[in-house]
């Protein structure tokens, strides 16, 4: 697996990481423990060194799985986890008080069976806590050696700059894909200016860009996509044209739509590292194969031309969640 540096932080990771959320949380029934551990270890064998988890995924169970699965290769991998929700539960609201950040760090270290967290993200910006205080709390953990690098998730331009002035931000994690390009307006230019790496989550549009979801698809009752406007039956039908264009390019390149979608992200900037998630070993193999996919300038122009002709239908978050991003 090719490697990339996240901005100017010096943090080197595999060109494609693994988003671990769906193993335990948010996308239907959690995986069986043995299957989850096998998937994580297979990713290591495939060359993945970058694993993304959070206390909120479960809560807590995802960190425990990641810790157990990777304990034997701990010095070969980079683990990112997150703080920012009350009691680790997304339903209870935000909490990025400095004392809570320290509590989360200590608990995450235990669950992950490690003595350091390579990348510690604020999961969502907390408007009740000054960003300078958040960055200062993480700075103290870095000085103590418990955390190596500071990250932000779904933060807006002002928060990024305030945080970076106190403790350099190594990586910003936000949604970015062929069907959500909002970061290109302000966030990516700021990352380039400040030397911050960018980690796209949902780089396959929560599965839609794989070509395996259409208007007739049904999701399990506890699947987050049931409340996402972009995944309504009407929106899925309307957005099918994007997948059709992507598939045509994939056929020409002897690749899959997912691989083209990931290769497109990799082609945008050398400091972008997508973290596709999956619960299926064959999908993990497919996704990591995108690191070797080569998109030429003509391919990128074809993709941009296709996107210019298509209006994606539906918001990416329900209204109550949209208020938590871009602050």
Query: Using one digit for the tens of pLDDT, what is the confidence trace for 109-166?
Result: 999 999 999 999 999 999 999 999 999 999 999 999 999 999 999 999 999 999 999 9
Tell me how far apart the alpha carbons of residues 296 and 211 are, in angstroms, rounded to a whole number. Answer: 22
pLDDT band at 176 (very low <50, low <70, confident <90, very high): very high
Burial of 301 (0-12, 13-18, 19+ CB in 10 A): exposed
- pLDDT at position 142 is 98
- Give the pLDDT band of residue 322 (cuts 50, 70, 90): confident
Two structure tokens written together for 45: 């064998």
Would you list the domain boundaries of the chain?
Answer: 3-204+269-293
Mean pLDDT of 207-236: 94
pLDDT, residue 326, reads 77
Task: Please write the tens of the pLDDT for every residue from 269-308.
Answer: 999 999 999 999 999 999 999 999 989 999 999 999 988 8
User: Considering the chain, what percentage of its residues have pLDDT values greater than 90?
Assistant: 93
- Exposure of 84 by Cβ count < 10 A (0-12 exposed, 13-18 middle, 19+ buried)? buried
CA distance 77 to 70: 8
Spell out the alpha helix ranges (H) of the chain: 21-24, 33-46, 61-70, 98-111, 131-143, 157-166, 187-194, 233-238, 240-253, 257-268, 281-288, 297-308, 319-322
For the residues 32-60, what does the mean pLDDT come to? 98
User: Is the pLDDT confidence value at 320 over 90?
Assistant: no
Read off the pLDDT band of 204 (50, 70, 90).
very high
Strands lying side by side in the sheet with 117-122: 18-19, 50-52, 78-83, 117-122, 147-153, 169-175, 197-201
Residues 268, 288: Cα–Cα separation, whole Å: 17
What phi-psi label fits residue 6: left (phi over 0), alpha (psi between -120 and 50 degrees) or beta?
beta
Burial of residue 181 (CB within 10 Å: 0-12, 13-18, 19+) is: middle
Select from 3.40.190.10, 3.20.20.100, 3.40.50.720, 3.40.1010.10 the CATH code of 3-204+269-293. Answer: 3.20.20.100
Show which residues are catalytic.
57
pLDDT above 70 covers what percent of the chain? Answer: 100
């Amino acid at each position: 697996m090719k490697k990339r540096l996240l901005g100017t932080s010096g943090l080197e990771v595999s060109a494609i990481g693994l988003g671990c959320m769906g193993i335990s949380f948010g996308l239907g029934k959690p995986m069986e423990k043995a299957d989850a551990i096998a998937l994580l270890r297979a990713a290591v064998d495939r060359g993945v060194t970058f694993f993304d988890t959070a206390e909120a995924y479960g809560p807590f169970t995802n960190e425990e799985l990641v810790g157990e699965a990777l304990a034997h290769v701990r010095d070969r991998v980079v683990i990112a986890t997150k703080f920012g929700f009350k009691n680790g539960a997304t339903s209870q609201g935000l909490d990025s008080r400095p004392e809570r950040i320290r509590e989360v760090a200590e608990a995450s270290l235990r669950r992950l069976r490690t003595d350091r967290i390579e990348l510690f993200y604020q999961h969502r910006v907390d408007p009740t806590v000054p960003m300078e205080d958040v960055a200062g709390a993480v700075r103290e953990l870095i000085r103590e050696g418990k955390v190596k690098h500071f990250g932000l998730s779904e933060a807006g331009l002002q928060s990024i700059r305030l945080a970076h002035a106190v403790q350099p931000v190594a990586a910003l994690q936000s949604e970015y894909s062929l069907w959500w390009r909002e970061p290109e307006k302000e966030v990516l230019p700021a990352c380039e200016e400040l030397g911050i790496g960018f980690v796209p989550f949902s780089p396959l549009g929560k599965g839609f860009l794989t070509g395996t979801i259409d208007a007739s698809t049904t999701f399990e009752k506890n699947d987050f996509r049931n409340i996402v406007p972009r995944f309504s039956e009407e929106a899925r039908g309307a957005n099918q044209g994007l997948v059709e264009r992507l598939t045509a390019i994939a056929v020409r390149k002897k690749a899959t739509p997912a691989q083209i979608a990931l290769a497109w992200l990799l082609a945008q900037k050398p400091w972008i590292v997508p973290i596709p998630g999956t619960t299926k070993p064959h999908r993990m193999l497919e996704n990591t194969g995108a690191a070797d996919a080569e998109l030429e300038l003509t391919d990128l122009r074809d993709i941009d031309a296709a996107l210019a002709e298509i209006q994606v239908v539906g918001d990416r978050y329900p209204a109550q969640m949209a208020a938590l991003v871009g602050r």
